[in-house]
A and B are shown apart, each in its own frame.
Chain A
């Protein structure tokens, strides 16, 4: 038995009750957040700071309730999410088409692939000034930018998914005399799906990041990004912190729903071995 697996109660540097392993497992994740919140609370309770930038926790909650009550928060969030979904859908649809075309045809891959790989290296936000000149500063420019953000990961992963279809599977399909459509729907598509999912998942994450970037840089209209920018300009720390919280919550919701969807849609993978 190695040292690391020895029972915790062995005499060590830690007093028994203070040992990190003394905390029950489900509670361990809460220790750091609770400590941070306590510190935050104590900083005001005992007057450690007088900085204007440092707002008490209660004020953030109050601002949240006030903005949620007045509908301001829902409006900003709605505007951001609406643009994000629209850009995401457009970018993903085009990305799926382009990725599939590049994956299926070697000629297209050789013709367009290198250009695509070069363009994808341009850092996403560098497109914003160009897009703003071409599409203005309104929703159209933002949606165009978000589509671009979603487009790249979808193309890349669709392409890779289709290329990774095992040759043996295609040969089996040929033995069964599948038509081109059957080959695509029954062999290529299911095999490529996990990778395509990775692409769509990345597209969601990038679209959300791009939503923020677009709202910072094309500061017209409303959105969560505008909420953050406004808060910073007016030195309203409570509003900025609230914005960060909302951004985090949306990111969490996106991650969670993507993983749920993937589990549901790719459930057949888990069962497939049991059939034989």
Chain B
């Protein structure tokens, strides 16, 4: 019964840990500071080694340009606007592809999750379709739609659709039966059931799907830009590689990493805001 008390009274269940004394703020500050400081020695040592390797020419600069050169190239690309232009193009493609894929995936997931009949019809086909990774479709799509913008959007949409549809479906399926029964006892309407029981319970897995979807979208974007594009960050990488300008490649890779990181952070922050009501066990 106690497990349901929070549903009935809307009282938050206090985590048991709250009873134990929390460390004093000052101690916590120091430990956070210590952790932040500890993060630096390793990358700095790698950078130093890298710079030394370049200065003393342990490896030819063609294979590994020095960090200083990469930083210089980065600044040059930034000043000429090349970096921003290509980044903007890449982001634009991800935005479109991901929006299309996420919307479709969500609709598909909801349809399969809420209606067993739809699931019976669609799920096997969907599952088969999902077995082929986005890159497997690439040559086929190139033949069907060419190598224009449509190719990139479709491929990115496909990459984000699958995890979002799957997680939405699974999330809706895994809403505990006990909670639905309870809602029925309270004579919730269908809308109330969705709004107050199904959605809160299915949200975490759905959001997980969205995060996976965005990661996959970014992965697919770089893949497709490496293979068939004349602009964008992936193209910048290929271009640098072809001219043996590894500094350009590395500068673009840094941007790819930074954007991947930023996209994931944004979703994590949104998740935290949306899940404020959830009291975590630990």
Contact = CB atoms under 8 A, between A and B. Distances in A.
B243 to A, nearest CB: 11
Interface string B52-71: 00000000000100000000
A158 B110 CA distance: 32
A32 B121 contact: yes
A244 B131 contact: no
Nearest to A251: B131
A212 B122 contact: no
Interface in A49-70: 53
Size band of the interface chain A makes with B: 35 or more
Interface string A125-136: 111111011100
B226 A129 contact: yes
A129 B261 contact: no
Contact of A213 (B38, B223, B238): B223
Contacts of A31: 121
B204 interface: no
B279 interface: no
Contacts of A25: 120
B250 A130 contact: yes
Interface string A114-158: 110011011111111110111000000000000000000000000
Contacts of A110: 34-35, 38-39
Contacts of B138: 216, 228
A118 B257 contact: yes
A185 interface: no
A95 interface: no
Contact of A122 (B39, B137, B253): B253
Contacts of A255: 131
A229 interface: yes
A253 to B, nearest CB: 9
Interface stretch (A81-89, A172-180, A190-198, A231-239): A231-239
A252 B131 contact: yes
Q: Which of A31, A53, A240 has the most CB of B within 10 A?
A: A240
Contacts of B223: 123, 125, 213
B142 interface: yes
Given A129-B241, A231-B139, A53 B121 contact: no
Given A110-B35, A126-B222, A130-B249, A119 B140 contact: no
Contact of B42 (A115, A122, A130, A243): A115
B154 interface: no
B222 A123 contact: yes
Contact of B120 (A29, A123, A133): A29
- Chain A contact surface mostly: helix
B89 interface: no
Contacts, number: 150
Interface string A200-231: 00000100110011001100000000001101
Q: Which of A25, A248, A249 has the most CB of B within 10 A?
A: A248
Given A2-B190, A31-B121, A129-B237, A113 B39 contact: yes
A248 B117 CA distance: 25
B237 A244 contact: no
Given A123-B222, A126-B222, A244 B142 contact: no
A20 interface: yes
B74 to A, nearest CB: 15
A241 B140 contact: yes
A115 B244 CA distance: 27
A21 interface: yes
Nearest to A209: B133
Contacts of B122: 32
Interface in A18-45: 20-21, 25, 28-33
A228 B136 contact: yes
A247 B136 contact: yes
A131 to B, nearest CB: 10
A53 B256 CA distance: 35
Given A114-B39, A126-B257, A209-B134, 14 more contacts: A32-B124, A53-B144, A110-B39, A114-B43, A115-B46, A121-B264, A123-B260, A125-B226, A126-B234, A128-B226, A133-B246, A134-B63, A217-B226, A232-B140
Closest A-B pairs by Cβ, 3 of them:
A29-B124, A129-B241, A122-B257
Interface of A: 2, 4, 20-21, 25, 28-33, 53, 107, 110-115, 118-119, 121-130, 132-134, 205, 208-209, 212-213, 216-217, 228-229, 231-232, 235, 237, 240-241, 243-244, 247-249, 251-252, 255
16 contacts: A33-B124, A115-B39, A121-B264, A122-B257, A123-B257, A124-B219, A126-B222, A212-B135, A232-B143, A235-B143, A240-B139, A240-B140, A240-B143, A247-B132, A247-B133, A248-B131
